[in-house]
Amino acid sequence: MSGLVVKTAVVSGTPAAIEAVVINDGWFPDIDPTSLREAYRIRDNVTPERLRKAILGAMLTAGNQLAIWQAAHLLAGRPTLGSVPTTILDGRSRLVLLYARAIGAYAKAELVETYRDIDTATAGQRQADELEPSIVELRRDALHAVRDMLGRGRVRVELI
């Protein structure tokens, strides 16, 4: 009897393929979708292409919010976000950690928001309504990370 036996290990919760790093603008760090997927518990039913689009959307959103701040640091001769003076936490720049947090939260918020339109039945609408606080909380976390990078307070009050 002859044959070929192939043994494969299946690890629960990991993507089937290695996802390519999303290349940023050269100043802000690149984003590893696999790490983001793990950190934000993004399931395998989110395709690599959809996750990549969400990360790019998050990069655009955060980049718009940080554009003037980035330009000031570029003019000051700082070639990357990692070269901006700050504290180091667990061997990484505090600002790089905050940026990764902003990207992760914005990307996850977009994914949660776009995946909720699959079921429009009454039960599906109820689930969508339950997801709303999650989306708001993710966007809040992303905005807090950006504001922390900018050195601004987190509370904004307007008089009516």
* The pLDDT of residue 18: 83
* The pLDDT of residue 125: 53
Whether the pLDDT of residue 114 is over 90: the answer is no
Residue 65 lies in a domain: yes
Mean predicted confidence (pLDDT) in 94-98: 98
Structure tokens at 155: 């509370």
Neighbours of 135 (CB within 10 A): 17
4 vs 22: CA distance, rounded Å: 37
pTM over 0.85: no
134 vs 132: CA distance, rounded Å: 5
Residue 27 lies in a domain: no
Tens-digit pLDDT profile for residues 21-80: 999 999 999 999 999 999 999 998 999 999 999 999 999 999 999 999 999 999 999 999
Residue 17 lies in a domain: no
Whether the pLDDT of residue 154 is over 90: the answer is no
Residue 123 lies in a domain: yes
128 vs 118: CA distance, rounded Å: 10
Q: Considering its fold, how many domains does the chain have in total?
A: 1
* Residue 141: band (very low, low, confident or very high) from pLDDT cuts 50, 70, 90: very high
Residue 129 lies in a domain: yes
Whether the pLDDT of residue 157 is over 90: the answer is no
Residue 157 lies in a domain: no
Domain membership of residue 98 as a residue range = 33-150
